[in-house]
Amino acid sequence: MLRASILLLSALLLASCSGDQPERKDASTEAVEDGIADLYAGDHATEEDSEAGECFASELVDRAGIDGLRDAGIVTDSGEVATELPGFEEETARLWVEAQFACTDYIEESTRALVAQSQGRLDPEAYAHCLREAITDDELREAVVASLTGAWETPEVNKLADAQAQCSSSSVPPER
């Protein structure tokens, strides 16, 4: 269950982009970015989720290009965003993670997700501090790349899963 949560969180990482003005894009690129942003933000997106989805989509298109996204199966031959994402090759997973991390802080998003999952019982500051101490940024990136490629048994995925489990259990006060 925790490993599935890691994959879901990896695919849903959200945050805001820099305030740079985007270049003018053609209609097909805008349509792809809109589709990726919607897919990324999810069905019940908050304003923050939508902004992060837009940032992520722009970053991903800039990094991979429309042809690269088509080759990866993220964009269909007809130019629409796939409704179901394929398994990612390592190169695509790395582009995805770099786009995510340009727009989000994974630990903040992990914290936000677990606070919601615990119905507010998780101490967000304790959890975030614990997770930042438990795993390096490089290990975190490698864990997310591995989860997107289905390489669940890598040391980084195991370290992240263990750290999330330990930090969440140590950050929830015992019930009385």
pLDDT of amino acid 25 = 64
**Does 16 score more than 70 pLDDT?**
no
Q: Domain residue spans in the chain?
A: 2-170
Q: How confident is the model at residue 173 (pLDDT cuts 50, 70, 90)?
A: confident
Phi first, then psi, for residue 111 (nearest 5°) are -65, -50
CA-wise closest residue to 26 among 60, 56, 76, 65: 65
Cα–Cα dist 163/171, whole Å: 12
**Does 13 score more than 70 pLDDT?**
no
pLDDT of amino acid 131 = 97
Provide the residue count of the chain: 176
What is the residue type of 57?
Answer: A
pLDDT of amino acid 174 = 78
Cα–Cα dist 87/72, whole Å: 9
Mean pLDDT (whole number) for 123-145: 97
Q: How confident is the model at residue 74 (pLDDT cuts 50, 70, 90)?
A: very high
Residue 1 in 3-state DSSP?
coil
- At a CB cut-off of 8 Å and minimum separation 6, what does 40 contact? 11, 12, 14, 52, 53, 56, 57
CB contact at 8 A, 137 and 116: no
Q: What is the pLDDT of residues 99-124, one digit of tens each?
A: 999 999 999 999 998 999 999 899 99
Q: How confident is the model at residue 44 (pLDDT cuts 50, 70, 90)?
A: confident
Cα separations (Å) of 22 from 25, 54, 67, 116? Answer: 8, 11, 20, 33
pLDDT of amino acid 172 = 87
Q: How confident is the model at residue 161 (pLDDT cuts 50, 70, 90)?
A: very high
CB contact at 8 A, 123 and 159: no
Mean pLDDT (whole number) for 150-159: 96
